[in-house]
Amino acid sequence: MASSEVDQKFLGKYAQQVNNSNPFLSSWLYKVLGLSVILSKKLIRARRLRKLDTTRDTKSLQLYHHIIWLSREGLVMVEQYIVPMTEGYIELKVLAYKLRASFYHIYVLFHNQPSINQAAIPSFSSPDKGKGVDRGSIRSSPNPMEGGPVQIPSSLPPGLAPVSVPKPSASFLLPAMNYIPIASSCFSRASFLSETMLSGSHPLRLSVKTEYSAYVYDCLHDGDTSRKIAQQAIRDVYNAQEGMDDEMFEDAAELVAILGKFMKRGLGSSATSSTPRVASVGTPETPRTNTRGTAGSTPNTGETVLPAVPSPRARERR
């Protein structure tokens, strides 16, 4: 998410690098970095309260309001000031579009209408023309042969007022609407940029894939697509031939471990037999390369075995 350690690390890195050449961009990167640090603490607390009814006045609503407000301000910074100034950069451009998708991800989690966690209240609307006659409206209308005024068919019984759906309490901060289409579009754009501009083992590319997989699983409730995204991301790591320094290697190893868990989400006890297995370091099925810090190659046994990136501890013992 916008509060991940990898994103924060690259935000600070590029804010320092562009300080002399583009101080205006550097200042906004530092602002988003500070906002991200604060937002990360709020999101950790809110994970246990995600099923809270935000239409009621409770003590925890202040936490939700603060998260939505921080996300709104961060999205304004990214869309209006950072994205337009990233055309001359590669990694920074991917990071900017990834942050944009992350803020919309938070909108979907905490402020989407209808909610992705609760059943939406059905809305009452008049039947469309050409789709048949509503039998309820026929029963509510008197027979013209019996006298009396002819009433216009209505979708509601006489005397029943329309049902008003309560709006989320944070509507004064952000309009309550369905943010899933724009969030999905932002993730698709960020994923495309990461695939075309970064190597398969780059931590930023893995960060995009990790949150994309989490978004598809938690917000779109599509477990198969989420697992495919995670599986393909791990496969791209081992097809990459670019080298990495120690710090990037550790970040990639951590993200691959998370993607390995995402590959098994929603499968239950059959996960070990139905999904590609991630081998550990030191086993015969884990190939290693001669380059320090690079990802291994795809094993010759086919796609049923995907070795994991060697952990930093294993590299220290070598």
Rounded to an integer, what distance in angstroms lies between the CA atom of residue 98 and that of residue 194? 9
* pLDDT number for residue 154: 53
Residues 6+ apart with CB under 8 A from 267: 223, 227, 274, 275
CB atoms within 10 A of CB 310: 20
R_g over Cα of the chain: 25
* pLDDT number for residue 74: 94
* pLDDT number for residue 18: 93
* pLDDT number for residue 47: 74
pTM: 0.69
* pLDDT number for residue 316: 45
Domain boundaries, the chain: 1-117, 198-318
CB atoms within 10 A of CB 225: 14
Q: What is the mean pLDDT of each run of 10 residues along the chain (318 residues)?
A: 80 93 95 93 78 59 87 95 92 95 92 68 38 45 49 58 59 82 95 93 94 94 94 90 82 91 76 43 36 38 40 43
